[in-house]
Chain A
Amino acid sequence: MKETKKPIIEIDHITYRYEKENVLEDIHLTVHEGDFVGIVGPNGSGKSTLMKLILGLLKIQKGSIRLFGEEAGKFKKWHKIGFVSQKANSFNTGFPATVYEVVASGLTKKLGLFKFMKKEHQEKVLQAIDSVGLLSFRNRNIGELSGGQQQRVFIARAIVSDPKLLILDEPTVGVDAQNVQSFYDMLNDLNKKWGITLLLVTHDIGTISDKVTHVACLNKHLHFHGVTSEFEQLKMNEMSEFYGHDIHILQHNHDHVHHGGAVQ
């Protein structure tokens, strides 16, 4: 990671609890412009909670999050951030809307209240649909598409407003195995060609490890963070063995001692 790159997300000392139990403890994470960061963790590791905190869907209890250099609580430029969630969570497959209409809804916030789509916006929508390879499906109802295609529609909806950062929460849940690889190839293109910073949360590290530039592991604590190079190498070997891939470990320049056993 080059030091000259602008930090896009700065998570500092974040702790979050539901009722009596901490879901996240003392999380630090900095994502820089152009990164493709994968956060991996088992179910219940606090991945979704972390996403929701970043997106402002949950109130920060302890610690701070800065987005594009601004305090998350005061952040207003949400159109800079695209979000793709687990499709199954929030989507009624019988909804009578075309691919075009769904993607166009991604411009809602950017256009603002009481504003209507102009020709340039319509072209933008078609461009986004094209970039996920669904142009010929634009007038189909979204319910008629396969799971993988639907998830591409949601990517198109997220990128139509030209976000600088795209956050994906388990985007391949419900996508059949043979389409997962091409889905990640498309993400890779977005990162490399469009220069969109990606933060991907998943429990499935196998498929992403050769695409992402950094990996962090989350299980209440964010592991492999601020580690010494020795520890990093050790953990890297373990991880590589475990997943069968070469993995880059997320590095940060904080001076903290962290859970995970690293002492600096």
Chain B
Amino acid sequence: MIEGILQYEFLQNAFFTGMIIGIVAPLIGVFIVVRRLSLIADALSHVTLAGIAFSLFLEKKFMPTSGLNPMYMGMAFSVAGSLFIEKLRSVYKHYQELAIPIILSSGIGIGVIFISLADGFNTDLFSYLFGSVSAVSRLDLWTILAISIIVIVLIVLLYKELFLLSFDEEHAKASGIATKSIHFIFIVMVALVIAGSMRIVGILLVSSLMTLPVAASIRIAKGFKQTILYSVLFGEASVLGGLILSYYMDLAPGGTIVMLAVVILAGTILFKKLSMRSY
């Protein structure tokens, strides 16, 4: 595989993109999971699909040679979707989780309409749904790198505030933290990371990269920083392991990555059980 990476640009793109999202998706995933917002990642990934379908439709019908990168439209939709979720959460104060199915089904609805308008499925769309190694371009790599640097810097700078907001929102408000602004920045970061990560693992599996490593980490970590550390390690191991396995065994990379994350999760649950018994 190393020869392959040295030789082929598309493998380099996929490999480096994978390394980056293996860090950034679980990193932001920790905050998503502890705030019990796991399903938001799912809703936003389906909104991203709508954006990609819209972009493919535009390209097909109006500007066939423009070379518009569908990821950008996916990001725009994802960010817009995150803002709608926030709006809906304040409309349905007592049924905040309702925002998620509303946005999720709207995302699929719009997506399906644009897919049919663009004359149905093609390999391009397929690669967005399930992820693809060969489809990652150099431009995708740079975009994802830029997003990830921004997200990591923001999380480091706002770590205290994000921690307090996640742990105890009421207390954060009472101590005069600008919770609304922090939450807004957070949800936009989530939307961007989702749109970036879907290139490798695909829209249908992107949320798993944000939640499975965290679910594994929470079982065994002591404290929040350790939870972040383990989540990133597990995420990175799943992505790199999955890419290598899928390369040699000729499997779908997205599915292999996610199944590796599931194996790690099962391993930590088992480990925790055994170590509890030995007390």
Taking Cβ atoms with an 8 Å cutoff, the residues of A that contact B are: 55-57, 76, 78-79, 83, 85, 89-92, 94-98, 100-102, 105-109, 111, 113-115, 139-141, 157
Contacts and interface: CB of A to CB of B under 8 A. Distances in A.
A90 B176 contact: no
Interface of B: 34, 36, 157-158, 160-161, 163-164, 166-177, 217-218, 221-227
B75 to A, nearest CB: 26
B184 to A, nearest CB: 15
A153 B171 CA distance: 14
A3 B226 CA distance: 52
Given A97-B167, A102-B167, A105-B160, A55 B224 contact: no
Given A96-B223, A141-B223, A57 B176 contact: no
Contacts of A114: 157-158
A55 B172 CA distance: 11
Contact of A105 (B163, B221, B222): B163
A79 B175 contact: yes
A114 B224 CA distance: 19
Given A97-B167, A108-B160, 10 more contacts: A55-B174, A79-B176, A90-B168, A95-B166, A96-B221, A101-B223, A101-B225, A105-B164, A106-B175, A115-B160
22 contacts: A55-B174, A57-B170, A76-B176, A79-B176, A85-B174, A89-B170, A90-B170, A91-B167, A92-B36, A94-B218, A95-B34, A96-B222, A96-B223, A97-B223, A101-B163, A101-B225, A102-B167, A105-B164, A107-B160, A108-B175, A114-B157, A141-B222
Nearest to B30: A96
Contacts of A55: 174
A78 B163 contact: no
A97 to B, nearest CB: 4
A78 B168 contact: no
Contacts, number: 85
B121 to A, nearest CB: 41
Given A108-B161, A113-B161, A141-B222, A95 B167 contact: yes
Contact of A96 (B34, B161, B171, B176): B34
Given A101-B163, A105-B167, A108-B161, A96 B175 contact: no
Contacts of A96: 34, 217-218, 221-224, 226-227
Given A96-B223, A98-B223, A109 B175 contact: yes
A154 to B, nearest CB: 8
Contacts of B170: 57, 85, 89-90
Given A90-B169, A92-B36, A95-B34, A109 B223 contact: no
Closest 6 A/B residue pairs (Cβ): A78-B176, A98-B223, A90-B170, A96-B227, A97-B224, A108-B160
A57, A90, A105, A157: most-surrounded residue (chain B CB, <10 A): A105
Contact of A83 (B171, B218, B226): B171
Nearest to B34: A95
Given A90-B168, A97-B167, A78 B221 contact: no
Contacts of A79: 175-176
B154 to A, nearest CB: 10
B171 A85 contact: yes
A91 B175 contact: no
A79 B177 CA distance: 11
Contacts of A76: 176
A139 B34 contact: no
B149 to A, nearest CB: 17
Nearest to B166: A95
B243 to A, nearest CB: 28
A141 B166 CA distance: 15
Contact of B223 (A89, A94, A108, A139): A139
Contacts of B160: 105, 107-108, 111, 115
A78 B172 CA distance: 11
Contacts of B217: 96
Nearest to B173: A57
Contacts of A157: 171
Contacts of A106: 175
Contacts of B34: 92, 95-96
